């Protein structure tokens, strides 16, 4: 699996704000939005473009546009905080949604929403979820997408644990991953260490 770690001072500063336990939800959401812009920018570096003719106020020239905008799939809840930034960079993209909640005892994901096109053959997909902890949620989500015929998936996340990366790798799914950090490990509650806590709760509060 191709893994890109975005190493940039502006990304590191947003990630620091997200990690800090003293950061309030509004500031946390703003940092996630800004960091997502940087991560999606990196994730789309090789996106195919097509050329077309335009006129500047001075002369004709050629421009480029994204040839086939990828489908964006935020994983609810926490991925919702990444959706608007990603769509801002890719305004022609469509958006699907997957809702997953991790069982607090087994740590396995429970799906409560699958809103995806039935056929994703030949389409590229960007999956948005801040956290890869055990990797169970993203493996489940990416399998749903692969089952619809997609062979070109990019996961954009903020933090990944080595255990989660290993699980995604072992799944054999055709994916790339872009992250702001690979952290040390999981603790006994399957939380990423040092991590940032629960990205859903920190954005939207515990329910």
Residue 197 CB-half CA count within 13 A: 19
- Residue 33 is among the residues annotated as catalytic for this protein: no
Q: How many residues does the chain have?
A: 207
CA distance 69 to 79: 19
Pick from 31, 71, 128, 129: which binds ligand PRP (CB under 6 A)?
A: 129
| Of 118, 117, 122, the residue nearest 48 (C-alpha) | 122
**Is the preceding peptide bond at 194 cis, omega within 30 degrees of 0?**
yes
- The reply to whether 132 sits near ligand PRP by the rule CB under 6 A is yes
Question: How many chain residues interact with ligand PRP (CB under 6 A)?
Answer: 22
- Residue 102 is among the residues annotated as catalytic for this protein: yes
In the complex, the smallest distance separating the C-beta of residue 61 from ligand PRP, rounded to whole angstroms, is 44
Distance of CA 179 to the CA centre of its chain: 8
Site residues for ligand PRP, 11-50, by CB under 6 A, read none
Cα 87–Cα 119–Cα 156 angle in degrees, nearest 5: 35
Site residues for ligand PRP, 172-201, by CB under 6 A, read 190, 198-200
CA distance 138 to 170: 12
Catalytic residue from among 51, 84, 106, 110 = 106
Beta carbons within 10 angstroms of residue 46's beta carbon: 7
- Residue 20 is among the residues annotated as catalytic for this protein: no
Catalytic residue from among 14, 19, 77, 102 = 102
Binding string, residues 67-106; x marks residues near ligand PRP by CB under 6 A = --------x-xx---------------------xxx----
Which residues sit at the interface with ligand PRP, rule CB under 6 A? 75, 77-78, 100-102, 107, 109, 129-137, 164, 190, 198-200
The catalytic residue positions are: 102, 106, 198, 201
């Amino acid at each position: 699996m191709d893994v890109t770690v975005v190493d940039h001072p502006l990304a590191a500063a947003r990630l620091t704000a997200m990690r800090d336990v003293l950061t309030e939800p509004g500031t946390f959401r703003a940092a996630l939005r800004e960091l997502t812009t940087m991560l999606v920018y990196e994730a789309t570096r090789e996106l195919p473009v097509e050329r077309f003719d335009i006129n500047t106020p001075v002369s004709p020239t050629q421009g480029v546009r994204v040839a086939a905008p990828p489908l964006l799939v935020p994983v609810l809840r926490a991925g919702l905080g990444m959706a608007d930034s990603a769509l801002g960079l890719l305004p022609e993209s469509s958006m699907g949604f997957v809702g997953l909640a991790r069982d607090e005892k087994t740590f396995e994901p429970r799906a409560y929403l699958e809103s995806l096109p039935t056929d994703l053959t030949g389409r590229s997909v960007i999956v948005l979820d801040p956290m890869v902890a055990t990797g169970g949620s993203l493996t489940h989500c990416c399998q749903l997408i692969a089952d619809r015929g997609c062979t070109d998936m990019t996961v954009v996340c903020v933090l990944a644990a080595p255990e989660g990366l290993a699980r995604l790798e072992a799944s054999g799914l055709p994916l790339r991953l872009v992250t702001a950090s690979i952290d040390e490990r999981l603790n006994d509650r399957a939380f990423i260490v040092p991590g940032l806590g629960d990205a859903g709760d920190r954005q939207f509060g515990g329910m």
